[in-house]
Amino acid sequence: MLVLALDTATPALTVGVAKDGQLLAGRVQLDPRRHGELLSPAIAAVLAEAGVTAGELRAVVAGVGPGPFTGLRVGLATAAALADAIGIPAYGVCSLDAIEAPAGPTLVATDARRREVYWATYENGERLTGPAVDRPQELAQRLPELRVTAMAGAGAELYADVLGLPLTAARYPTAERLIAAAAERIRDGAPGEPLTPLYLRRPDVTMAAERKPATPV
């Protein structure tokens, strides 16, 4: 079964296509301000590299965050539109679940901007805590109770001096991990689901408040 996976929840754009769980083609591009421009060409490129067409896909898997408002909208709107056009199911996956973590208790964190991180904890591939958003200093104070022994993700790398745990090489979501996280739903032919973005906080840009009249009317 051919499956397309994509994620735009981090500064990296992740796209890949796999057959029966084996990655045929994939790429991770680091360009946080150009997800909207790069996503469609990246999808076309991995399909061409894999030697398949969009019409042969049987499912789409998309990272739903946590992540910034604009980046998530790009990926989820594209995934939903593609699945609808082909008539195949779309499945959402927490983007933190798609970052490679060692078997032991591990903190996975991405950069949430505003000097914060999105984070969750894992052991043996299972999420134990989160996702949540916190300042690194506040998260560091919770590490003893979380009982993690390592960390992964670009957010963990950015604040390595604050968090102080051994750091693995994994920084961003991968197509393989996205598909693995949805494997049971794909295998069972589960119905598609709404791709609901996981923001964890309000968007950076908000609507302006209604202006008050300068003089009585």
- Round the average pLDDT of the chain to a whole number and report it: 92
Nearest to 77 by CA among 125, 14, 8: 8
**How much is the pLDDT for 201?**
73
- Residue 108 host element (H or E): strand 106-113
Band (pLDDT 50/70/90 cuts) for residue 206 is very low
Predicted TM-score (pTM) of this structure: 0.90
User: pLDDT, tens digit, for every residue of 59-86?
Assistant: 999 999 999 888 899 999 999 999 999 9
Q: Residue 1: what residue type? A: M
209 has pLDDT over 50: no
Query: Could you give the percent of the chain with pLDDT greater than 90?
Result: 87
Structure tokens given for 137: 């200093």
**How much is the pLDDT for 159?**
98
| Gap between the Cα atoms of 59 and 4, Å rounded | 7
| Gap between the Cα atoms of 6 and 174, Å rounded | 8
204 has pLDDT over 50: no
CB atoms closer than 10 angstroms to residue 32: 16
| Gap between the Cα atoms of 16 and 183, Å rounded | 15
Helix (H, G, I), strand (E, B) or coil at 167: strand
Band (pLDDT 50/70/90 cuts) for residue 187 is very high
Overall average pLDDT of the 101-108 stretch: 96
**How much is the pLDDT for 70?**
87
**How much is the pLDDT for 205?**
44
**How much is the pLDDT for 202?**
53
CA 180 to chain centre: 13
Burial of 69 (0-12, 13-18, 19+ CB in 10 A): middle
Nearest to 198 by CA among 97, 66, 30: 66
213 has pLDDT over 70: no
H helix intervals, the chain: 35-50, 69-86, 136-146, 154-158, 160-163, 175-181, 183-188
Q: Which residue has the higher pLDDT, 141 or 211?
A: 141
**How much is the pLDDT for 127?**
97
User: pLDDT, tens digit, for every residue of 3-50?
Assistant: 999 999 999 999 999 999 999 999 999 988 899 999 999 999 999 999
Domains in the chain, start-ordered, CATH in brackets? Answer: 2-95+172-188 (3.30.420.40), 100-163 (3.30.420.40)
Overall average pLDDT of the 120-124 stretch: 97
